[in-house]
Amino acid sequence: MSYSFEYIDIILLAMIAGFIFLRLRGILGKKTGFDGKLTSNFKKEFPEINIKEKSKNLIFDDIAQKEFLNGAKIAYETIITDFSDSDNKIIKSKPLLSNKIYNQFIEALNERKTKGHYAEITFIGIISAEIKEHKKIQNNLEVTVNFVSELITCIKDKEKKIISGDPEKVKKVYDTWIFSKDTRSTNPNWYLIETIT
């Protein structure tokens, strides 16, 4: 009987992950290689975040910050949840990561696999997400976000022996992530370029 519940849990988690991925693609975008002009219909359905230059000063107003934070929270949850999966599809497909962060994640995943360890991460929720600072560096806008979240984390070995963490304890986690976007590009993607734990 317990096996049937496990299968139901797996199916539900897969459905939730699929929903989050589709929402994430809708908010943060997907690189397609298209750099031409957007049609009027596309602009109506997917309005651009209000990032523009006016008198050489970058505008990243309250509306743009709110839209950005909505996408950043989804990216945060998606990346952390995917890090605990066995296939790591989102991390490996690199839709949200800079090359530097991608290489760090892949190195950590390979090390975990070599040791025969696996992660169990239950994402409880985000308590808060606040923009600490935003600045323009050359043509890139960099936004630093402080996240406070609740997770249940546990690392186990092949014999399911607990290496670290506690599968029964909710832990409050403080993270600082830095996202970057090329302000000249029509590509709507933001990329995670730094993590500070």
Please tell me the least confidently modeled range out of 41-55, 60-74, 82-96, 138-152.
41-55
Segment 22-31 shows an average pLDDT of 56
Highest mean pLDDT among 37-46, 54-63, 64-73: 64-73
Domain limits for position 6: 2-196
More confident residue, 58 or 66: 66
Question: Residue 179 gets which letter from DSSP?
Answer: E
150 bridge partner residues? 125, 172
Please report, as a single letter, which amino acid is at residue 191. Y
Q: Is 153 helix (H, G, I), strand (E, B) or coil?
A: strand
Q: What is the DSSP string of 108-147?
A: HHHHHHHHT-EEEEEEEEEEEEEEEEEEEETTEEEEEEEE
* Six token digits for residue 85: 């999966």
Give the model confidence (pLDDT) of 133-152 as tens digits. Answer: 999 999 999 999 999 999 99
Give the per-residue pLDDT at 169.
Answer: 93
Amino acid identity, position 161: K
pTM above 0.85, yes or no: no
More confident residue, 89 or 86: 89
Q: At what angle do helices 62-84 and 2-28 cross, to 10 degrees?
A: 150
3-state secondary structure 6-33: HHHHHHHHHHHHHHHHHHHHHHHCCCCC
Instruction: Say how many domains are in the chain.
Output: 1
What integer pLDDT is reported at residue 79 of this predicted model?
Answer: 87
- Here the tokens at position 134 are 């935003």
Contacts of 15 (CB under 8 A, 6+ apart): none
Angle 75-158-10 (CA atoms, 0-180°, nearest 5)? 45
Question: In one letter, which amino acid is 171?
Answer: K
Is beta strand 118-137 parallel, antiparallel or unpaired with respect to 140-156?
A: antiparallel
**Which CATH number fits the domain that encloses residue 149?**
3.10.450.240
